[in-house]
Amino acid sequence: MPDAALQQALSDLAAVTTRLNEESNTLNVTIAEFEKTLTALNPGIAVWCPNPIRLQTHTPLNAFGSLLGFDKIGDDWGLWIHRTGLHRAKPTNAWEESADHPAEKLLPLTDATREERIGALAEFKTLVEMLTTEAKKRLEMIERANKQGVR
């Protein structure tokens, strides 16, 4: 039988994890609502945020990280996490996906770790801005093609 101090520590942990799980469920609702909004807009455009939402640095030039994207995987458009090796030429450069270490895992954002889901929230605005920029480019190309087709 555990001693009193261990029992108290387990009780404290239980109280904190109960609250943590409740808040995580709220986080998942926020993610699901954002994903539903994006898919309803039907942009038909895949974008991946350049900044890792989780990063485990191995050396100043190599790391393993998670990237957030809006993409069609299989038949489903949605928010995805891409866990992959990352590298950069200099410590001041941005991280890029390493060709030597392709995607280790691709999974829906709602199935990601808490750390990844929290990091993803901070990138939602960037994701929307990237989608908007790409949608404007595509619209411009289509309008140009339509004008050329009329002549």
Residue 100 lies in domain: 4-150
Residue 124, judged by CB atoms within 10 A of its CB (0-12, 13-18, 19+), counts as middle
Give the total number of structural domains in the chain. Answer: 1
Q: pTM of the predicted model, to two decimals?
A: 0.84
- pLDDT confidence band for 98 (50 / 70 / 90): confident
Angle, CA of 15, 21 and 26, to the nearest 5°:
130
Task: Please give the Cα distance from 89 to 1 (Å, whole number).
Answer: 55
Which residues are CB-neighbours of 117 under 8 A, at least 6 positions away? 24, 27, 28, 31, 109, 110
Residue that the structure tokens 């974008």 belong to:
47
Query: At a CB cut-off of 8 Å and minimum separation 6, what does 103 contact?
Result: 82, 83, 84, 97
Segment 43-74, tens digit of pLDDT: 999 999 999 999 999 899 999 999 999 999 99
What is the distance between the alpha carbons of residues 81 and 69, in angstroms, rounded to a whole number? 6
Which of 118, 83, 84, 82 has its CA nearest to residue 99?
84
Asked if pLDDT for residue 150 goes beyond 70, the answer is: no
Q: Quick check: 106 pLDDT over 60?
A: yes
- What does the block give as tokens for 55? 């990063």
Instruction: Please report which residue ranges of 4-113 form alpha helices under DSSP H.
Output: 4-41
